[in-house]
Amino acid sequence: MKAATIARYGSPGVIEVRDVPTPVPGADEVLIRVHATTVNRTDCGELLHPTLIGFMSGRRSRRRILGMDFSGIVEAVGAGVGLFRPGDYVFGMCPFRKDGAQAEYFCMPESGAIAPMPRNLRFDEAVLCEGAYYANASVEKFDYGPCHKVLIYGASGAIGTAALQLAKIRGAEVTAVVAGRHLALVRSLGADFAVDYTADAFNTLGRHHDFVFDAVGKLGIGRWRRLLKPGGVFASTDRGPWSQNLFFLLWAKITGSRRVDVPLPKRGSAQAFVNDLKDKIEAGQYVPVIDRRYPLADIADAYRYVQTGEKAGVVVIDIVQ
């Protein structure tokens, strides 16, 4: 099979698409014929900082094939598999401890983050779990609801568009802060207020938000403090400028303050999340946001584009075109 392999870690230039052996499923695993995958911030982080990502995920060895999101068809199943059978259309997220989905085939446990593919999506639209998974950690932890005013900074990315939609499903009032070219996008996703981060309107937003969620890790403390009401919470998916969020997170732990948080998904929650996301998609409550598509042969260019930090939604890699 063909796969995007990592001979050594570093820049996208180290990625090489080549032939490698097709994996064989274990007793509790399914072999998936991948139709589409993505390149996301997590993949770029692992390419540049494999030791840090390995430490955070609990993985001891470095992977040679990356890729979290996938959609495809079950090709074969192990002897102990009961939930899936060959021919099933599936989607989900690869486990961190094994090679990923930037390949024609990969194996994963049937107990992992895998579910029947939403009936109303194509393969290239169904690779949307990773951003939603990390966004949902914040939505769940703080229990967004109709009484909450939430500001999402960077609401046009994979995590940001997911956080916006998940917050609106719960009835929260959402202010989406994005680049001017993405204002129409966030309005179409249900944002109550859409604000250009380069405009004066952003600088004049008052301190009336219950939550400020930085979906791109670029907000400085001076910014988010001016946006939160007394007792409000700042949450981020990243270390922030100069890694300052790690300091504030440590300080919050020491003092017992709940003002700053970096919410992470609960361990063992991935499969239930993917099934729940499927239900929301089929109910018309959640839609995919696709930025660009690349063939597998051009995956290095996809990494370069994602590393610019300018993408909106998901960058798709078409394995089967």
The DSSP secondary-structure symbol of 266 reads P
Locate the domains of the chain by residue range: 2-128+288-318, 131-261
What was the pLDDT predicted at 252?
Answer: 52
* pTM beyond 0.85, yes or no: yes
Place domain 2-128+288-318 in its CATH homologous superfamily.
Answer: Medium-chain alcohol dehydrogenases, catalytic domain (3.90.180.10)
Q: 131-261, which class in CATH?
A: alpha beta
What was the pLDDT predicted at 98?
Answer: 86
Distance set, CA 111 to CA 39, 141, 271 (Å): 24, 24, 7
What was the pLDDT predicted at 54?
Answer: 46
Would you say residue 51 has pLDDT above 90? no
More confident call, 150 vs 261: 150
Model confidence band, residue 124 (pLDDT cutoffs 50, 70, 90):
very high
Would you say residue 242 has pLDDT above 70? no
Reading the block at residue 214, the tokens are 């930085």
What was the pLDDT predicted at 8?
Answer: 79
What mean pLDDT is reported for the chain?
89
Model confidence band, residue 60 (pLDDT cutoffs 50, 70, 90):
very low
Model confidence band, residue 12 (pLDDT cutoffs 50, 70, 90):
confident
Reading the block at residue 162, the tokens are 């997911």
Model confidence band, residue 238 (pLDDT cutoffs 50, 70, 90):
low
Write the DSSP string, 162-222. HHHHHHHHTT-EEEEEE-GGGHHHHHHTT-SEEEETTSHHHHT--S-EEEEEESSS---HH
